[in-house]
Amino acid sequence: VTITAATDAGLLYGVQTLCQLLVGPTNAPAVAGCTITDWPAFGVRGFMHDVGRNFQPINLLKTQIEAFARYKLNTFHWHLTEHAAWRIQSTLYPQLTDATNHWATRDPGSFYTKAEIADFVNYCAERNIKVIPEIDIPGHSQAFRKAMGVTMSDPLAVQALTNIVNELFDLLPTNLVPRIHFGTDEVSGSAETPHPDLIPSVVSTARSRGREVMTWWRGITPVDNDVINQVWAPHSP
């Protein structure tokens, strides 16, 4: 069997194809004689988990990543914050992951440590899956607001979120996490109405750290033309 590819990712996908061709008993597998020429139909092939609402431990996520790598997916959207809970450990603001600041019965107090996040991102990278972390602001921010004791229009929220973004990027190298998602959709009520500097601050901070920025369609507009707008509902141009 000979596998050739233009990139390391291509070699990985070739191995997955070879595994799919294996038939017969495990102690004596066989491969049908054939020639396969293949390439991805889509540049982004991904899936998302909203662990802000429905927490899943790292080992369970790794099991799923292993399975999805066999299907040659290459993107994992990690929705880490929500009304229900904030799942990212912060050295600067440890109250964010305190169970008393999480809501209802959705695994209050469950979160990912910095070590777990860094290890998981590397685990994904070894399987050619890039992680897109999402910090969902200024909507869906009830856990953040409770922990910090501020509304999203407070200048302290601007400073805290800028610090949090930098803290996350200190942990994750640009080549493994080249983009971040800031949500911005479904802003509801005065408590979630953002300070005028909030979105510009986190966007400029992300770009200064070499990251592309994503938001949800129907989110806060305008941000600017370089933000990647992700569609979550039926949409016509």
Q: What is the per-residue pLDDT across 39-52, written as a single tens digit (0 to 9) for each?
A: 999 999 999 999 99
Q: Provide the residue type at 29 as one letter.
A: P
Residue 217 has pLDDT above 90, yes or no: no
In 10 A of CB 111, how many CB atoms? Answer: 22
Give the per-residue pLDDT at 235.
Answer: 62
Dist. CA 55–CA 225, nearest whole Å: 33
Higher-scoring residue by pLDDT: 24, 114:
114
Give the per-residue pLDDT at 143.
Answer: 97
Does residue 152 sit in helix, strand or coil?
Answer: coil
Overall average pLDDT of the 83-93 stretch: 97
Give the per-residue pLDDT at 236.
Answer: 61
Does residue 95 sit in helix, strand or coil?
Answer: helix
